[in-house]
Chains A and B, each alone.
Chain A
Amino acid sequence: LNAAPGPAPRQHVRFLPVPAEDGSGVTGLVATRVPMLADHRLVRGPRFRRLKIGAGHRLDTKASGVFVLGIGHGNKLLTDLYNCHLTKVYTVGGLFGKATDDFSDTGKLVEKTTFDHITREKLERILAVIQGTNHKALLMHSNIDMKTQEAYELAVKGLIRPMGKSPPIITAIRCLQFTLPEFQLEIHCLHETQQYLRKIVHEIGLELKSSAVCTQVRRIRDGVFTLNDALLRTQWNLQSIQKAIWDCQLKVKTELEKTLG
Chain B
Amino acid sequence: ARPPLLLGRGLAKAAGPRSVRQLKEAEEAAPVFQYAGKAAKRKDRVFVWGFSYSGALGVPSFVKPDAGWKKPRRIQATPYRLETEEKISSAACGYGFTLLSSNTTDITKVWGMGLNKDSQLGFQRSRRDRAKGYEYVLEPSPIPLPLEKPQQTRVLQVSCGRAHSLILTDSEGVFTMGNNSYGQCGRKVVEDESYSESHLIHQLKDFDSRVVQVVCGQDHSLFRTKKGAVYACGWGADGQTGLGHYNITSVPTKLRGDIAGVNIIQVSSYGDCCLAVSDEGDVFGWGNSEYLQLASVTETTQVNVPRHLPFKIGKIKEAACGGTGNIVLTEEGNVFVWGYGILGKGPNLTETAVPEMIPPSLFGWSDFNPDICVAHVCCGLSHFAALTNRGELFVWGKNLRGCLGTGRMEDHYFPWRVTVPGEVVDVACGVDHMVSMVKSFT
For A113-139 the 0/1 string (1 means CB < 8 A from B) is 110110000100110110111011001
Tell yes or no: A209 within 8 A of B by CB: yes
Closest to A133 in B: B419
Chain B residues with Cβ below 8 Å from A126 are 441
Q: Confirm or deny: B72 has a beta carbon within 8 angstroms of a beta carbon on chain A.
A: no
> Which residue on chain B has the smallest CB distance to residue A108?
B23
In the bound complex, CA of A129 to CA of B369 (Å): 13
With A126-B441, A153-B346, A156-B362 known to touch, is A209 a contact of B36 (CB < 8 Å)? Answer: yes
- Measured CA separation A234–B27 after assembly (Å): 38
A18 to B30 CA separation, bound complex (whole angstroms): 96
Question: B33 and A112: CB pair below 8 A?
Answer: yes
CB-nearest residue of chain A relative to B40?
A117
Of B34, B346, B364, chain A has the most CB atoms within 10 Å of the CB of B346
Which residues of chain B have C-beta atoms less than 8 A from A112's C-beta?
27, 30-33
In the assembled complex, the Cα of A133 lies from the Cα of B442 at a distance in Å of 18
**How many chain B residues touch the partner (CB < 8 A)?**
38
Could you list which residues of chain A lie within 8 angstroms of chain B, going by C-beta atoms? 97, 109, 111-114, 116-117, 122, 125-126, 128-129, 131-133, 135-136, 139, 146-149, 151-153, 155-158, 172, 174, 188, 207-210
Partner of B442, one of A97, A139, A208: A208
Contact of A209 among B35, B417, B423 (CB under 8 A): B35
Is B384 part of the contact surface with A, judged by Cβ < 8 Å?
Answer: no
- B357-391 residues with Cβ-Cβ distance < 8 A to A are 359, 361-362, 364, 366, 368-369, 390-391
Report whether B347 and A147 are in contact in the complex, using a CB–CB cutoff of 8 Å.
yes
Q: What residues of chain B have their CB less than 8 Å away from a CB belonging to chain A? A: 26-27, 30-40, 345-348, 359, 361-362, 364, 366, 368-369, 390-392, 410-414, 416-417, 419, 423, 441-442
Contact between chains at B419 and A148 (CB < 8 Å): no
A26 to B410 Cα, complex, angstroms: 95
Q: How many angstroms between the C-alpha atoms of A186 and B365 in the bound complex? A: 18
Given known A-B contacts A117-B38, A117-B40, A209 and B345 have beta carbons under 8 A apart: no
Contact B441 A135 (CB under 8 A): no
* A50 to B412 CA separation, bound complex (whole angstroms): 56
- Is the beta-carbon distance between B361 and A113 smaller than 8 angstroms? no
Contacts of A111 in B (CB 8 A): 30, 33
User: How far, in angstroms, from A172 to B362 measured CA to CA in the complex?
Assistant: 15
> Which residue of B26, B362, B368, B442 is within 8 Å of A155 (Cβ)?
B362
Quick one: which of B33, B40, B414 contacts A113, CB cutoff 8 A?
B33
